[in-house]
A = this chain, B = another copy of it.
Amino acid sequence: MKTCEVVRYTLENPGDVSALKAAIDSGSVAPESIRAVIGKMEGNGGVNDFTRAFFTQSLFYMLADYLPGSVDVLKARIPCVLSGGTEGVLSPHYTIFCVSEAEDVSNLESVLALGSAMSRVLEPDEIGLMAHVAVCRDAVLAAMADADLSAEEVSFVQVKCPAISAVRAQALIDEGKSACASNSGQIMALSRVAGAWGVGVALGELSMDQLSDDAMLKDFSLLSSRASISSGLEIDRCEVVVLGNSNSWGGNLQIAASPMTDALDLSGPFKALEKLGIDAAPPLSQEDAQRIRSVLVKCEPARSGKIRGNRHTMLDDTDIDPQRHIRGAVGGMVASVVGDGRIFVSGGAEHQGPDEGGIVAVIAEVAG
């Protein structure tokens, strides 16, 4: 029986993987059990955020000392989903998901299951377009198979999709090829949409024939309620991590997800904790706080320019990127509920969760 363990590590800078190295050296983490890494880096989270690539390089150079295969082989095998931007109270960290064989000691009906997969390399002229949707869908299906999870059992799918720079897009256009957009912000958004739709189709929330390049960023009813997609230039494949609860896995962790109807929806994180038997009314007990292993949040700045009828200024700010604004705000809300800044908050929830809202997922230890 497989079991998934989840451990969070902090880091002093994006090149610091010493905490995981120490855990491996001490025997508390078996390097061959590492199946996925999800992390929050301290760059700006945009196209020119190189903290993601720096961490990835540092991680795999370190792991290559413990695992067979070159750095490049490891990179192509273990998903490393990083999001930049630790605005406000957010704390740079990375979470290691390890899968191992274990005797089932818990009497829980259904516990955390994880599957991962890497898609094939996407061509630059596929990114953010329907071809990307199909590629991502296949990778999600592969990850579901890996986890032995049915579509209904999947709680949350975290994907990192490739993007291209505005300059690369212009070059494609000049070569007569397709480019999903010419503006960096929009390229990153369309890459997230393609990823979200790939998840939605794999989970049966959407069907391919409803979807088209034209409907992206237009028909916001076409959404996946369980997808959280980041995009970045540092990768060229879709990297997929599927999470759910399964009665064929062992252990004492569970995942619970909840939609957030908008960026002020405090009941979102309250409900996710409630499903895990944790009363979120502040202050959280020390004990409950320590049961929480991972928090994954997706959010976005409302396109309408208003939240509950009041104007926000995120979309027309030339100084601070809208995604930095929203990560800071929703991160502030969710971190205050769990009493911990080590949460993964990713902006850009286009076609992911309720329109203008988001999703919060929590993994916690539950009483067996």
Q: How far is the CA of A57 from the CA of B316 in the complex (A)?
A: 22
Whether A87 and B328, one on each chain, are in contact in the complex, defined by CB atoms closer than 8 angstroms, is yes
Q: How far is the CA of A93 from the CA of B307 in the complex (A)?
A: 14
Report if A91 contacts B (CB, 8 A).
yes
By secondary structure, the A interface counts as: loop
Whether B50 and A51, one on each chain, are in contact in the complex, defined by CB atoms closer than 8 angstroms, is yes
Report if A281 contacts B (CB, 8 A).
yes
Instruction: Give min CB distance, A291 to chain B, whole Å.
Output: 16
Report if A26 contacts B (CB, 8 A).
no
Quick check: which of A39-47, A136-144, A222-230 contacts chain B, the rest being far away?
A: A39-47
Known interface pairs A57-B57, A165-B305; A12-B311 also in contact (CB < 8 Å)? yes
Q: Which of B171, B264, B315, B319 contacts A89 (CB 8 A)?
A: B264
Q: Which of B87, B266, B331, B337 contacts A320 (CB 8 A)?
A: B87
Q: How far is the CA of A264 from the CA of B14 in the complex (A)?
A: 24
Whether B313 and A320, one on each chain, are in contact in the complex, defined by CB atoms closer than 8 angstroms, is no
Whether B336 and A266, one on each chain, are in contact in the complex, defined by CB atoms closer than 8 angstroms, is yes
Known interface pairs A61-B61, A318-B45; A310-B266 also in contact (CB < 8 Å)? no
> Chain B contacts of A342 at CB under 8 A?
310
> Chain B contacts of A335 at CB under 8 A?
264, 329, 333
Report if A119 contacts B (CB, 8 A).
no
Report if A31 contacts B (CB, 8 A).
no
Task: List residues 74-94 of chain A with CB under 8 A from any CB of chain B.
Answer: 86-93
Report if A97 contacts B (CB, 8 A).
no
Closest residue to A174 on the B side, CB-wise? B304
Q: Which of B13, B325, B339 contacts A50 (CB 8 A)?
A: B13
Whether B47 and A318, one on each chain, are in contact in the complex, defined by CB atoms closer than 8 angstroms, is yes
Task: List residues 300-354 of chain A with CB under 8 A from any CB of chain B.
Answer: 303-308, 310-321, 324-326, 328-333, 335-337, 339-342
Whether B166 and A315, one on each chain, are in contact in the complex, defined by CB atoms closer than 8 angstroms, is yes
Whether A91 and B50, one on each chain, are in contact in the complex, defined by CB atoms closer than 8 angstroms, is no
Q: Which of B91, B307, B318 contacts A44 (CB 8 A)?
A: B318
Report if A58 contacts B (CB, 8 A).
yes
> Chain B contacts of A57 at CB under 8 A?
15, 54, 57-58
> Chain B contacts of A326 at CB under 8 A?
88-89
Q: Which of B48, B310, B320, B328 contacts A340 (CB 8 A)?
A: B310
Residue with the greatest number of chain B CB neighbours at <10 A, chosen from A46, A92, A319: A319
Task: List residues 136-177 of chain A with CB under 8 A from any CB of chain B.
Answer: 165-167, 170-171
Whether A91 and B312, one on each chain, are in contact in the complex, defined by CB atoms closer than 8 angstroms, is yes
Instruction: Give min CB distance, A356 to chain B, whole Å.
Output: 11
Whether B316 and A48, one on each chain, are in contact in the complex, defined by CB atoms closer than 8 angstroms, is yes
Known interface pairs A89-B263, A186-B183; A42-B333 also in contact (CB < 8 Å)? no
Q: A43-B50, A183-B185 are in contact. List 9 more A-B contacts (CB 8 A).
A: A13-B233, A42-B48, A42-B50, A47-B316, A48-B317, A91-B311, A92-B313, A264-B335, A318-B324
Q: Jot down 9 A-B pairs with beta carbons below 8 A, ordered by A.
A: A44-B319, A46-B316, A47-B317, A48-B317, A183-B183, A184-B318, A308-B339, A328-B329, A332-B333
> A residues within 8 Å of B by Cβ?
10, 12-15, 42-51, 53-54, 57-58, 61, 86-93, 165-167, 170-171, 183-186, 233, 263-267, 270, 281-283, 303-308, 310-321, 324-326, 328-333, 335-337, 339-342
What are the 9 tightest A-B residue pairs by CB atom distance, in nearest-first order? A46-B318, A88-B329, A167-B305, A332-B332, A329-B332, A328-B328, A91-B310, A54-B54, A267-B282
